[in-house]
Amino acid sequence: MARTMMIKQTLTGVAFAIVASGASSTELQQSDPISARIFLELHSIQKLAGNIRPLVSAPGQAFRVIDGEVLALGKLKIRLIGIDAPEAAQQCNSQSGDIWDCAGRASDRVQDIMDLAERVECFSSQPESRGHYIATCDADGQDVGALLVAEGLAWPDRDQGYYQPEVTTAQADGLGIWQAHTPPPWEWRQEQH
């Protein structure tokens, strides 16, 4: 068993080294959707190989929730990769024609996830221009961004193409933001300016 695991880690490490040699994280363009996809794929390979160390690893209660897609741990700010949560002042439409506080609900859900998680690990390639780290964060092994998209509390980032199975299910079930048409955050931001 130990030998099989060691062979698996070695093979996965070799695969990672080959892929990583073609695209290092410092060469990835931050606004490039292919860069985000490559980062998430490299992250998956590294996790399989057991060769990745998280940017941060702490109990969930140690994190502050800034909004539906930004966490903080001390002075470190982390933006979840691959999602676009409702903006703070944005309201969403309900199936009955009312509006609801989707931004508040997304933030509250992230807070619930953090409060219940024994361990949150965030993996990142590099900081973005605003000083936040762009990262994928796992709460007790579950991808926080994937959970938000699956529950209809965030859109998958329009340029990155990640979380498609989760968004397809949320749309089909009419969950959260998918219960009635609501402009996604990138359109809402344009309308506000």
Instruction: Return d(Cα 132, Cα 73) in angstroms, integer.
Output: 11
Q: Which two tokens stand for residue 173?
A: 């079930």
Residue 14: per-residue pLDDT: 37
Do the beta carbons of residue 28 and residue 39 sit within 8 Å? yes
Residue 139: per-residue pLDDT: 98
8-state DSSP, 179: S
3-state per-residue secondary structure call for 80-104: ECCEECCCCCCCEECCCCCEECHHH
Residue 37: per-residue pLDDT: 56
Q: What does each of the 193 residues of the chain score in pLDDT, given as a tens digit?
A: 333 333 334 334 434 443 444 443 334 444 445 555 555 655 555 554 455 778 899 999 999 999 999 999 999 999 999 999 999 889 999 999 899 999 999 999 999 999 999 999 999 877 776 778 999 999 999 999 999 999 999 999 877 778 999 999 999 999 999 999 999 888 888 888 7
Do the beta carbons of residue 116 and residue 53 sit within 8 Å? no
Residue 20: per-residue pLDDT: 41
Residue 164: per-residue pLDDT: 92
Residue 46: per-residue pLDDT: 52
